[in-house]
């Protein structure tokens, strides 16, 4: 893993992004940001966090009853300066 690799959780709609923010605030370090163009999602808001934090974030969202069909986690990989997205399980 390169230092520039990071995790993204993309959402199908803005309401889902705001709900996830509410659930995870105070539990994990993350920032909300525009969804990277390498990811096709229904919403322009994504959550950026460390790769190591992605499984915990997804588990916390599941515990809170968050509909898993409204989110998808990705690993953002930068090769030679060109980022690409790789879908993560969960």
- 3-60 pLDDT per residue, tens: 579 999 999 999 999 999 999 999 999 999 999 998 987 889 999 999 999 999 999 9
Other C-beta atoms lying within 10 Å of the C-beta of residue 78: 13
Phi, psi of 57 (to 5 degrees): -60, -45
Task: Give, for 7, the enclosing helix (H) or strand (E).
Answer: strand 6-11
Alpha-carbon distance of 54 to 51, in angstroms, equals 5
Q: What domains are defined for the chain? A: 6-87 (3.30.70)
Q: Token pair for residue 48?
A: 């950026």
pTM: 0.90
CA 32 to mean position of chain CA atoms: 9
């Amino acid at each position: 893993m390169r230092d520039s690799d990071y995790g993204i959780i993309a959402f199908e709609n803005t309401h889902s992004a705001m709900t996830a923010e509410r659930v995870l605030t105070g539990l994990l370090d993350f920032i909300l940001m525009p969804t990277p163009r390498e990811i096709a999602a229904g919403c322009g808001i994504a959550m950026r966090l460390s790769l190591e934090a992605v499984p915990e974030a997804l588990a916390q969202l599941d515990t809170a009853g968050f509909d898993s069909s409204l989110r998808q986690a990705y690993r953002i990989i930068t090769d030679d300066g060109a980022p690409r997205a790789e879908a993560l399980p969960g």
